Structure 1
Amino acid sequence: MKSYETEENIPFYRQLKEMIVEDIESGRLNQGDKLPSERDLAEQHKVSRMTARHALSLLEREGFVERIVGAGTFVSNRKIQMDFTFNSFSKSMLDLGMKPTTETLFMKVERAKPSVAKMLDVEEGEELFSLKRLRLADGIPVAIELSQIPYRYCRGIEDYMNENVSLYKVLEDVYSIRLHKATQYTRISISDEMESRLLKIQNESACLLLETVAYDTEGRSIEFSQSTTRGDIVSFYTELTL
């Protein structure tokens, strides 16, 4: 058995973590399989128990394993791959064979702040319809989404919105607004206490923050959205033509 102390440039816990990730991604370890204990991992790979504990903790934070008190550490089934195609959350989850659900956190009309007004190309202080929702897949919290739309385009929309209604479908069916394209920006964010509680992750966890401006077929800026997405269970991909 190779000793990880021979690798000088990479911390031992990361080497151990990457080895377990490779076993999971190659199929040598499958969903629900139980991993060896910290002690067994330490003995097997000739590292300290602290190193083994650190590796398992990192695997848990990145969503590869679940640690159940009194039972052990198990390979997780919660990894979700999503593409960058402009699409509704519900459709994206259905395409993955998962059941999407939504919890409305708030729904209100408020004044546009300078940064949002700039993104939507409206005057500062203009009325916006703001909708903040917790998005779940198979009952697992995945993202917190905030959508903001100039209210002049969708007056009375709050009367049509409930937990199981698609915002984009309401815009199209009721207001004849069809979203056509979008500009999207992505960066890393750190979850605050409220986000961590809603997403059921550790406080100050790494998340993906997606900021999107969606345009309709007339070229108008219709929606500015921010999505705080769990970094431990969601990965985004895209296909490029070279």
Structure 2
Amino acid sequence: MTQGRPWFTNQARSPAAADARLHAPATQRNRDAIAQVLARELPAAGLVVEVASGSGEHALYFAQRFPGLDWQPSDPDPLARASIAAWASGGALEGEALEGGASEGASAGAPANLRLPLALDAASPHWPVERAEALLCINMTHISPWEATLGLLAGAARILGQGAPLILYGPFLWGDVETAPSNLAFDAQLRARDARYGLRAVEELDQAAARQGLARTALHVMPANNLLLVYRVQSAPR
């Protein structure tokens, strides 16, 4: 689905980490803002499937922040899955490892509600999950082919029940709202790297979601020129 994430650095936080843990610096900057919105959009209980979990730092943090939810991380990349498993088994937050103290609102230790990662390619019609109460996908749509986003929407239609949310976070193009110069530069960089990559337009996502019976119910403006989009299942796919 994706072709590497060069902004990950491979830095063990302790001898036990054995270099399997990857670190995506943005996770530490955006996790609290994302968690505040997730607290309003996620159900109180049930299974959350995180698609394209990457390093696994978000999965660990959110599992600790939302103990009433079962958290299922996934990624098609075996190196990412190894990192997710290492973060989960280590049970330490990135903030704890770097700053020497637990982050506010989350406790140390591997949370019992965090599952081992699954090999899941969003573009595939065959997912190793049959049912979930919510889907979360952070920073995937712009660094993967459009087919991965279409597959994500189709997967949401398959495994989510009526009213259940698909939550997308990342940089997007949004109607007549002026795109930040940094996002335009990032978009150009992505397209130069791979013509299939690039920031997606919210309106294009809305249309593709509608074909799968999903409708956007919320758009949250986030820090650093990002958006958080919430789609909910309304009807059967067209």
TM-score category by the smaller chain? under 0.3
Q: TM-score, normalised by structure 2?
A: 0.24
TM-score, structure 1 normalization:
0.23
Select the structure of larger CA radius of gyration.
Answer: 1
Higher strand share: 1
Relative to total residues, which structure has the larger helix share, 1 or 2? 2
